[in-house]
Structure 1
Amino acid sequence: MKREKVLTVVLAVCMTAGLLTGCGAKEKTAAENKQEPAAQEAEGGTRQQANLNAEGFPIVNEEITLKVFGQQGPVQGKWDEMSMWQKYQEMTNIKLDFTDVLPAEGYDEKKSLMWASNEYPDIFVRAFINNAEIVKYGNMGILAPLEELIPQYAPNLQKLIDEDPAILSRITAPDGHIYALPAIFTLTAARDDKFWMNTSWLEQVGKEIPVTVDELEEVLRAFKGVDFNGNGEADEFPMGVSDAQALVRRFAGVWGYQYQFGRFLEVRDGRVTTYLTEDNFRDMLMWLNKIYEEGLIDPEIFTQEYAKYAAKMAGQQMGLFFNQADDTFDSANFAGVAPFRGKAEKQYVESAPAARDNGVFAICADCENKEAAMRWIDYFYGWEGSCLMRYGVEGENMYFDEDGMPHYNDGILDSPEGSGTEIGKFTIWPGGGAPQMVNDNNCEAIASEATLAAQKALDPCVPEKIYAEPLLEQEVSDRLSVLWTDLENYEKEATAKFIRGELNFDSDWNTYVDTMNKIGLEEWVSIYQTAIDTLNK
């Protein structure tokens, strides 16, 4: 397996306003947020320190409550009913208030309301705080700096940072502070979406696993219109994907493009470029339009919620689809395949750095129990805590074998609902975005034999270097946010219309290119170029 060199840049992107309850209500300036009255701070700090245990459990002697803001994933149950949280509250003596844990649908809007409300939680868990928000609300004094807490109260996280210094550069803001923490994945198979092909369908139509784009077309046509499940309904789709942008990203890689910084960008010989207006990208969209108009792509990709896509995976309703692991479906009838060869000399897959999902945990600056909160989260960056996060409660959800390796109880990985949905009943990691450490020994659900084989098919297509979304200075971050919001909104709309045939490639392509350039495509690229230049100095 080719080992990626994860490059990250200490720089970020912007965003706006927010909702909810927790740390504070009165609007403050950045200076006021960062400079609480010394006497009050000293008194409160002494009281909290006296209640805190430096190591072991419980974390605090007298029970405290931390108000949580976060997102309940589409395949997750209610957080207050999860055995993982119930067990951890008993262990720590820290009660969790999940009032502000919100459904995935409409979450971004409610998060914006939270920022605007000036009423904040104590901690953010699986909150998807983006880079722009990290820098903006860190600078405003809403998010607490964590870099001085980590060495003393987060030994597990500190160990991971010592072993991989790239983690530190990934999470350090331009002002030198750390305002939010990531999920950390040392397992490559947990960083990209696999290409899953339905081998049962292939057998029924007399086809082999396709290797090229042309062969894929033939297979998808053979799948069309066949009632594979025998229910008399047209509920099978030759190819499906979670959403239209995911479709574009997957096949951009097939057409030879990388997906760096979590954007439609490449870095070649130190130069950052975008391919959103290139003729080769246009050719890729033309191909997608062709197979879409033939009825070979699930038409619901433009409108469906992820939960519906997950149900289609579990129901084996797609001939080809994309997912990180086989945790939401039974992989017995599926094989992981390599990106299909076409005109490009080399194919690529979108892959995340080891310190991925930055912004999955943060502490509010007004939280009265910062040290306890840091000890609380650090548990999940160590072995025991990662097993609780990944597997749930021993006896109830999982067990350890004679070698000390964790395993799910019977009936979980082979649940008819899909293992992701089953695991989501008792822990928060299914769907991604959880604060956790994932390695080769605690990844049973996402590193099954089938998933590892699927990853092996992708390994030659993983970029040698992976660039994370940079943390930028506030002013640059604000500008980048405006640019990308406008560019992304237009790109999403236009590419969807090209795929559906609502825009004409002959008469409308130049207008699309001109509009992207007018919005600021060149300036957008130049910001990332500056980040790379800074890194290389």
Structure 2
Amino acid sequence: MNTQWLKTLGLEVPKTTDDLFDVLTAFKTKDPNGNGVADEIPLTGSVYDSVVPFVMDAFIANNWHGGAAGQPVSLGLDGDTVQLQPAQDGWRDGLEYLHRLWENGLIDESAFSQDSDALVAKNSGDGPPVTGAYNGNNPWGFIQVGMDDARDAQYDAIPPLVGAEGQVATYIQPGTPGATFVITKAASKEKQKKLIEILDYMYTTEGQLHGQFGLEGVNWVKPADGDVALDENLEPLYKRVPADPDNKKMANTSWGAIAQYNSNATFRNSEVQPLEIYSPDGFERRLFEATKLYDGLRSDASFPYWNVWVPEEDSAELSTLQTNVETFISTSAAEFITGSKDIGDDAAWTAYLDGLDGLGAARYIEIWQNAYDAS
């Protein structure tokens, strides 16, 4: 959220959905960017970073981040029972609130159609910033970081809103389920042994540094006196050397992200980082500090699909079901929010639920329930 605008208008960070409505209304009507033009966009998003999840958490816990059809982001847990969060009453309540924001002109008209490039361009032109709030996990998705006027420094993460379940944070899952290291029968005994030795090495600190970043003294160095770790409670362990495309010694020295087998929180947070969070070099610390606002607020209703293994015999069927169900939910959410479907009409809501049934939502849930139980 643009906290500079909050200061300009004498407003506090919103804590509830009512607060959020009032803040967004002020952003729209009181010219917080000071250019004398009613060009402010109170709340925006993109086809990937939806406006839905942050607001929806005040009504029902969700892991929904744009309706990613390739992942089961609409699933949740009621105890140990898998369910579709967008088929629950809380989801409808959230859509009703989002529609209220829409009909009052508080949501960007392009929020459900623009890509990230268009959104960044909108906020990075010659004039002052026009965006009040954006739902995403970093500023790169809506504004150019490091411009001469340092406009990205106007934006700070805000805590989850207080809703029916207190404060609940959307959890963006780390990846897709499945194995990340596999040795097949095509490998000889000697190669199998060597592969295990490589993996064992990457589970050491030395191996993780080498595997992920490269050579000491070339791609990374040991901390100097006065260096501070990302987590200031930890001893600094390493400091990455900025990439230099002209330095051939830096090339092809690591596996990068695919070597992150031992990249646990302690390892990551022991990296040396600048203290100034609004400088381009301090971006990692900026994200780290923002994460603290959400620490411990993940709901028990979050479905941990990344730890669930779906049997091979169900995978093809699941792929089709998942694409159809998740796409329908994403499309329907936009339709209800924008008013092309009436969220206040019981018949329209029933037709939506019937549409889910017709696409095989029950079977979709059943496959994931069975896999969850087996895990």
TM-score (normalizing by structure 2): 0.68
CA distance in 1, matches of 2:321, 2:29: 43
Deviation at 1:460, TM superposition (A): 3.8
Matched with 2:333 is: 495
Deviation at 1:257, TM superposition (A): 1.8
Deviations 1:242-280 (A, max 9, x none): 436733333332213243984222222222222322232
Matched with 2:367 is: 527
Deviation at 1:449, TM superposition (A): 4.7
Matched with 2:104 is: 294
CA distance in 2, matches of 1:533, 1:385: 35
* Pair 1:305–1:399, CA change in 2 (3 A): farther
CA distance in 2, matches of 1:473, 1:253: 31
- In structure 1, list runs of 5 or more residues that go unmatched: 1-196, 413-426
Q: Which amino acid aligns with 2:159?
A: A
* Pair 1:485–1:401, CA change in 2 (3 A): same
* Pair 1:395–1:240, CA change in 2 (3 A): farther
Matched with 1:269 is: 79
Matched with 1:335 is: 156
C-alpha contact 1:352 1:466 (8 A) present in aligned 2: no
Secondary structure of 2:93's counterpart equals helix
Q: Which amino acid aligns with 1:492?
A: S
C-alpha contact 2:219 2:240 (8 A) present in aligned 1: yes
- In structure 2, list runs of 5 or more residues that go unmatched: 65-70, 225-234, 245-253, 274-281
Q: Which amino acid aligns with 2:298?
A: V
Work out whether 1:217 is the aligned partner of 2:21: yes
C-alpha contact 1:244 1:301 (8 A) present in aligned 2: no
C-alpha contact 1:286 1:499 (8 A) present in aligned 2: yes
Work out whether 1:439 is the aligned partner of 2:241: no
Deviation at 1:522, TM superposition (A): 1.8
How do 1:49-448 residues align onto structure 2 when only pairs under 5 Å count?
197-224=1-28, 236-243=40-47, 246-259=50-63, 262-309=72-119, 317-325=130-138, 329=145, 332-342=153-163, 344-351=164-171, 356-358=175-177, 383=205, 387=209, 399-402=221-224, 405-407=237-239, 436=260, 437-443=263-269, 448=284
Deviations 1:98-131 (A, max 9, x none): xxxxxxxxxxxxxxxxxxxxxxxxxxxxxxxxxx
How many residues in Structure 1 have an aligned counterpart in Structure 2? 321
Secondary structure of 1:457's counterpart equals coil
Secondary structure of 2:336's counterpart equals helix
C-alpha contact 1:406 1:442 (8 A) present in aligned 2: no
CA distance in 2, matches of 1:299, 1:265: 28
CA distance in 2, matches of 1:384, 1:242: 40
- Over the aligned positions, Cα root-mean-square deviation in angstroms equals 4.3
CA distance in 2, matches of 1:447, 1:258: 27
**Greater RCO (Cα-Cα under 8 Å, separation 6 or more):** 1
C-alpha contact 1:238 1:318 (8 A) present in aligned 2: yes
Deviation at 1:334, TM superposition (A): 3.4
C-alpha contact 1:387 1:442 (8 A) present in aligned 2: no
Secondary structure of 2:110's counterpart equals helix
Q: Which moved more, 1:454-463 or 1:355-364?
A: 355-364
C-alpha contact 1:386 1:438 (8 A) present in aligned 2: no
Q: Which amino acid aligns with 1:284?
A: G
CA distance in 1, matches of 2:206, 2:118: 33
* Pair 1:357–1:215, CA change in 2 (3 A): same
Deviations 1:341-383 (A, max 9, x none): 23x1334223256x74556967897899976888888877654
Q: Which amino acid aligns with 1:348?
A: V
CA distance in 2, matches of 1:351, 1:532: 18
Deviation at 1:390, TM superposition (A): 6.9
C-alpha contact 2:46 2:114 (8 A) present in aligned 1: yes
CA distance in 1, matches of 2:40, 2:333: 24
Deviations 1:150-201 (A, max 9, x none): xxxxxxxxxxxxxxxxxxxxxxxxxxxxxxxxxxxxxxxxxxxxxxx22111
CA distance in 1, matches of 2:339, 2:217: 54
Q: Which amino acid aligns with 1:462?
A: R
Q: Which amino acid aligns with 2:21?
A: E
1:508 maps to which of 348, 353, 358: 348
Secondary structure of 1:442's counterpart equals helix
C-alpha contact 2:14 2:20 (8 A) present in aligned 1: yes
C-alpha contact 2:178 2:309 (8 A) present in aligned 1: no
